[in-house]
Amino acid sequence: MRLALPISPQSTSPIREAGVFAGLTIALTWLFWLPGAFLPGALGSLFLGIGSFAPLAVALFLQVWLQKFTLAPQDWLKTLTWSSAAVAILTPLFVLAPAMMLRFSQGTLDIDKLLGDTRGTWLGLVGLLILAVSEEIGWRGYLLPRLGFLPIYLTNLIVGFLWFVWQLPLTLAGRYNESEEFGNFFIATFLYAMLITPFFNRLARRGNYNPLLSAILRAGLQFTIAVYFLQGRADPLTDTFGALTIAWLLIMNLALFSQLWQGKKPPAEITELERVMPLDV
């Protein structure tokens, strides 16, 4: 039986390619993540790990299917600068900084334990980076360029929504959820996906759709959140997807609106926040 797709080398378009990529990626990922999110221990982690390679697998498959080889790893290495990598590394700390500072002031966060857990689990960052690269090659290396003809604000909304839907098995299973109010957690993860996506997209675009930059950011975020979890249960305000983190992400989106949502270059006189996060292209 011949595989039938709504695109072919003779009949294709960027928007159709984006739609097929999203549909196949979500379906293939869910095939592994739905059981993996509910299976215990190593078996569940194995299924989740396999599912994380779906965006890469679909992107490579569509390249061969359409005979359009647009992924160029050699170009990604050329645009991987120290300054852009520094932004990707530091952004996770900016995201969780308010929650950490509040817990520290409340006396519920032990800095020595935080640093100890970071040192003790650093090897896990390597695995997270490998998975993040496979995911981001699909989302930012393949999908994002095909939406380049759309206004940037619309691209961010589309990618953010699809990225949230893609991760629904993890959200619905509550695998990483310490909140008793699942409805609030669901809304918070949706807002988090929509508000963090512009940072992923901006980093990738400023490196000519370089998924390595967004992969560094994604792995850094996952590692930072994992270490933060080890510090004990937080309250709804200072949880990883708590009200404080969401509010802070909203503030950063508003402060960098012209860059994140409109794609404009900063003025000659840049602010201190823009100096710390030099997202100009």
> Which of these, 198, 218, 68, 78, lies nearest to 137 by C-alpha position?
218
pLDDT band at 268 (very low <50, low <70, confident <90, very high): low
pLDDT band at 2 (very low <50, low <70, confident <90, very high): low
Q: Taking 90 as the threshold, does the pLDDT of residue 204 lie above it?
A: yes
Indicate the burial class of 19 (C-beta count within 10 angstroms; 0-12, 13-18, 19 or more).
middle
Q: For residues 204 and 196, is the Cβ–Cβ distance under 8 A?
A: no
Half-sphere exposure of 236 (CA within 13 A, CB side): 9
How long a stretch of residues is the chain?
A: 281
Task: Locate the domains of the chain by residue range.
Answer: 73-276
Q: Taking 60 as the threshold, does the pLDDT of residue 4 lie above it?
A: yes
> Which of these, 209, 45, 202, lies nearest to 128 by C-alpha position?
45
89-118 pLDDT, tens digit per residue, is 999 999 999 999 999 898 888 889 988 989
Q: Taking 80 as the threshold, does the pLDDT of residue 267 lie above it?
A: no
As a whole number, the mean pLDDT across the chain is 88
- Single-letter amino acid code for the residue at 250: L
> Which of these, 280, 244, 276, 255, lies nearest to 265 by C-alpha position?
280
> Which of these, 5, 59, 55, 3, lies nearest to 33 by C-alpha position?
55
Indicate the burial class of 275 (C-beta count within 10 angstroms; 0-12, 13-18, 19 or more).
exposed
- Tell me which of 214 and 235 has the higher pLDDT: 214
150-184 pLDDT, tens digit per residue, is 999 999 999 999 999 999 998 887 644 455 577 78
